[in-house]
Amino acid sequence: MDYQVARHNMVENQVRTNKVTDPLVIAAMEEVPRELFLPEGKRGIAYVDEDIPVGDGRFAMEPMVIARLMQSAQIAETDVALVIGAGFGYGSALISRVAETVVAVESNKEMSAAAEAVCQKLNYDNVIVVEGDLASGYAKQAPYNVIVFDGAVCEVPAAILDQVAEGGRLLAVVREAGKVGIARLYERENGVVGHRDLFDANIPYLPGFEPVESFVF
């Protein structure tokens, strides 16, 4: 399979056709080899326009959604970014092509090791993979100019909103129980965090961020 052709077709048919016009985002999507950030048995479907299950209840986010989240974040080359739920590292690698530094938090030991290995192989030296609890973010390096959740959440934890810098942006697909997922932009201005909805996106939940079931007796 010619992955470079498949990658270019993904950009032309999935990314550009879905309102992604930022040249830096498009260049990152053209450059980063998505197939290397998947388990070997999944590489043949690396460029399909859907979320790809990668094990342990995790998914590689649909390319169009991560591209639109990146574009909405308006990432600058001086920005420090945090990725929550990095998985095998594809989203973190994409963001690293635009931001100055990316801190990628992943709770699965095997996935974090794989993400770190692939980023090293590709010389993406500005990606720092940290193994840790996703819901805690990574306060040690906070605040961040950009925070991106690599999967849906029922709500954004206050502990992670606290890690957004003044003027910073947080992007997440928020899926409340029984509702359609909505890509949402949170921004901190004058110490206050506000948000606005961007577009529909029904991607799978990150483990641990699903709605809590309520039982009626």
What CA–CA distance (Å, rounded) separates 93 from 96? 5
- Answer yes or no: is pLDDT of 217 > 70: no
In a domain, 207, yes or no: no
Residue-wise pLDDT for 84-110, tens only, equals 999 999 999 999 999 999 999 999 999
| Structural tokens at position 84 | 């929550």
In a domain, 217, yes or no: no
Residue-wise pLDDT for 38-76, tens only, equals 999 999 999 999 999 999 999 999 999 999 999 999 999
Q: Mind giving me the DSSP string for 185-214?
A: EEEEETTEEEEEEEEE--PPBPTT-SPPP-
Q: Say which CATH number the domain at 137 has.
A: 3.40.50.150
120 and 129 in contact (C-beta within 8 Å)?
Answer: no
Could you tell me which residues come within 8 angstroms of residue 123 by beta carbon, excluding any fewer than 6 positions away?
none
With 0-12 / 13-18 / 19 or more C-beta atoms within 10 angstroms meaning exposed / middle / buried, residue 137 is buried
- Answer yes or no: is pLDDT of 195 > 60: yes
Residue-wise pLDDT for 19-38, tens only, equals 999 999 999 999 999 999 99
In a domain, 205, yes or no: no
Percent over 70 (pLDDT), the chain = 98
Residue spans of alpha helices (H) in 36-134: 63-73, 90-96, 109-121
pLDDT, position 216: 57
Helix axes 23-31, 3-10, angle to 10 degrees: 160
Q: Match 């925070």 to its residue by tokens.
A: 147
pLDDT, position 212: 80
| Structural domain span for residue 11 | 3-200
Helix H, strand E, coil C: the string for 7-52 is HHHHHHHHHHHHCCCCHHHHHHHHHCCHHHHCCHHHHHHCCCCCCE
Residue-wise pLDDT for 115-160, tens only, equals 999 999 999 999 999 999 999 999 999 999 999 999 999 999 999 9
In a domain, 170, yes or no: yes
In a domain, 216, yes or no: no
In a domain, 71, yes or no: yes
- Answer yes or no: is pLDDT of 205 > 90: yes
In a domain, 48, yes or no: yes
Count: domains in the chain: 1
Please give the model's pTM, rounded to 2 decimal places: 0.96
pLDDT, position 1: 83
Residue 170: pLDDT band (50, 70, 90) is very high
pLDDT, position 215: 55
In a domain, 158, yes or no: yes
